[in-house]
Amino acid sequence: MFLEMHRDELELEIWQRLDLVTDPELDEPITDMGFVERVDVNTDSNLVEVEFRLPTYWCSPNFAFLMAFDIRHEIGKLSWVHKIKVTLNDHCFADRVNDGVNGGKDFIEVFSEYCNGDDLNSIRVKFLEKAFVRRQETVLLGLEASGFSGPRIVSMTLAQLDAIDFAGGEEEKQKPRYRELLLSQGLAKTSDDPAFVTWEGEQLTAAGLRDYLAQLRGVRINMEFNGALCRGLQSTRYKEVEIGEDGPTLIDFIQNRVPPRVSEARN
């Protein structure tokens, strides 16, 4: 009984770390997206196993690599964890991702094998910028909807933003996430700094706010396309249609849920 409780607590800790891993393209936690399918803690050896699956076999392998390594990195921060095994299932690059993430090499080393010696940093930065834009747009639109004028928004300090209570909605969820990126990227350092700057660190102007928001919207439209597709494809993967008396319905094909992995997957 004690052991069981203990294991539950440890698993909860793992899930909390996994909440911090995001799909770089969507800027959504992989746990919210339903990508993580199994977490197992072996309390004898302090081995943690995590299995995850993406919405399709063809999802971008570079992001699969990033997520796998981020999982390892986040769980590795827990001092009681001695060994981690991360497994990506049913993906065209699964074998190489799994070998890479569990092989003990660091990320850059594994990655450079598949990128002509290049590294992945530029892609990471590119998608960090998209995440920044999306979080910022949500907060800006939230402020507009709460009646804040353009001049007030662009002159707002971080302390003033902190004091605003959105009382629910997506803007409440994104505010701390936006704040976190603002600080981690050095775009604001003290609470007297402006709360809203561009990714390049330029101050927004009231006159330019509409154009700026239109730019941000363009980025969001892309991310939403991905998000909607990924959620949808995730929900229908391994389901099939059966046509009954009342017309077509979507049903689970549990038995055939995991297709056989054959040797061609290595080609």
Partner 1 sequence: MFRTKDGKEIFVVDGHTHFWDGSPENQSNVHGKQFIDCFYAYHTNLSPPEQLWEKARFEKYSEDDVYRDLFIDGPDDVAIIQSTYLKDFYKNGFSSIERSSTMASRHPERFIVNGSFDPRDGEKALEYIHYMKENFDIQGVKMYTAEWNGESKGWALNDPAAYKCFELCDKLGIKNIHVHKGPTIIPLSMDAFDVRDVDYAATDFQNLNWIIEHCGLPRLDDFCWIATQETNVYGGLAVAMPFIFSRPRYFGEMMAELLFWIGEDKILFGSDYAIWTPQWLVEQFWEYQIPEDIAKERGVQLTDEIKEKILGLNAAALYDIDVEAKKAQLSASPVQIAAE
The secondary structure of the chain in percent helix, strand, coil, rounded to multiples of 5, reads 50, 15, 35
- Between 158 and 216, name the residue whose CB sits nearer to partner 1: 216
The interface mask with partner 1, positions 120-159, x = CB under 8 A, is: x-xx--x---------------------------------
Q: Is 254 in the site for partner 1 (CB under 8 A)?
A: no
Nearer to partner 1 by Cβ, of 12 and 115: the residue is 115
By CB under 8 A, tell whether 33 contacts partner 1: no
Rounded-to-integer distance, Cα 239 and Cα 265, Å: 22
Binding window for partner 1 (CB under 8 A); candidates: 42-50, 109-117, 140-148, 190-198: 109-117
- Report the residue from 5, 167, 221, 254 that binds partner 1 according to the rule CB under 8 A: 221
DSSP state of 168: S
Residue 255 DSSP one-character state: T
Q: Does 207 bind partner 1 (CB under 8 A)?
A: no
Provide the residue type at 258 as one letter: V
Q: What are the DSSP calls for 72-131, one per residue?
A: HHHHHTSTT--EEEEEEES-TTHHHHHHHHHSS--HHHHHHHTTTT--SHHHHHHHHHHH
Q: How far is the CB of 35 from partner 1 (least distance, A)?
A: 15
Looking at residue 80, its amino acid is W
Pick the stretch among 6-14, 77-85, 183-191, 256-264 that binds partner 1 (CB under 8 A): 256-264
Tell me if 240 contacts partner 1 by CB under 8 A: yes
**Residue 166 in contact with partner 1, rule: CB under 8 A:** no
Q: Which of 7, 85, 179, 239 binds partner 1 (CB under 8 A)?
A: 239
At 137, list the tokens.
């747009």
Distance CA 62, CA 66 (A): 6
By the rule CB under 8 A, 191 interacts with partner 1: no
Is the CB of 150 or the CB of 194 nearer to partner 1?
150
Q: Which of 182, 131, 130, 133 is nearest to 159 (CA)?
A: 182
Under rule CB under 8 A, residue 235 binds partner 1: yes
Residue 259 within binding range of partner 1, rule CB under 8 A = yes
> How far is residue 27's CA from residue 146's CA, in Å, rounded to a whole number?
25
Least spacing, CB of residue 211 vs partner 1, in Å: 11
Angle between helices 94-102 and 61-76 (to 10 degrees): 30
Helix or strand run (H / E) with residue 211: helix 209-236
Binding region for partner 1 (CB under 8 A):
25, 55-62, 65, 90, 92-93, 111, 114-116, 118-120, 122-123, 126, 214-215, 217-219, 221-226, 228-229, 232-233, 235-237, 239-243, 247-250, 259-262, 264-265, 267
